[in-house]
Amino acid sequence: MSKMSYSSASMGSGSRTARRTVEFGRTYVVRPKAKHQATIVWLHGLGDNGSSWSQLLDNLPLPNIKWICPTAPTRPVTVLGGFPCAAWFDEGELSEDGPNDVEGLDASIAHIANLLSTEPSDVKLGIGGFSMGAACALYSAACFAQGKYGNGNPYPINLKAVVGLSGWLPGARNLRNKIGGSNEAARRAASLPILLCHGLSDEVVPYTYGERSSQMMSSAGFRYVTFKSYQGLGHYTVPKEMEEVCQWLNARLGA
């Protein structure tokens, strides 16, 4: 249960060189009910908080997993006309060609890495999330493969699983070039299993964005990307989807 702040130099272009401090909200932890084999940081969607997901995750039949559910900083969000709400990064438009808030993304996944850094060495580490949280999880996967954050600093966590529900990959259009130029990045990408789930009736993050992100990650060298679609599912989760998440995590993490 902690509040943390992260200060970084802006990675934007032009005159955006001021430092800004981002204060993260409360972190909720769901302790494992049996032998601790894996820890997953789970990230909520836009305007939500860690509490709501911690309650859902606490009821999943995954007794060997510890869940860490942080709360995003409150920040003005461009797509909401500048209205401030809990968001892992600023989002102006959902588009492969839209600008990415690399500074905000880096700050959030550095916060996630910090939460995972104190876990026991024999515990497998993963990241998952919903919507904007899923976008952050997939961005973490890309940084893991490249071995560095978007700002070039080393990425320190050895990920073993990534789950994204109703999300997308920021910067997907550049991923293939970034990973293809490094044998080590290609090796790391090929080692990381990723599960993506998306509803065909999603009215917030269109299904095609999730599908396209899955295709672009596969073409960039992520060999173990599983993409599941759900007929009639909007921008929310349902028991069937969470059952398949549980089955997938059991198979990948032995949890």
Please answer whether residues 91 and 78 qualify as being in contact, where contact means their C-beta atoms are separated by less than 8 angstroms: yes
Average pLDDT over residues 122-151: 96
Active site residues: 131, 202, 235
Residue 139 Cα distances to 12, 111, 117, 242, angstroms: 17, 13, 18, 22
Mean pLDDT of the chain: 89
CATH of domain 25-253: 3.40.50.1820
130: number of Cβ within 10 Å: 27
**What pLDDT, on the 0 to 100 scale, is given for residue 99?**
59
What pTM was computed for the model?
0.90
Strand bridging mode 124-130 / 159-165: parallel
In percent, the amount of the chain with pLDDT more than 90 equals 80
Average pLDDT over residues 149-169: 95
Task: Name the 3-class secondary structure at 92.
Answer: coil
Name 5's Cβ contacts closer than 8 Å, sequence gap at least 6.
Answer: 21, 22, 23, 24
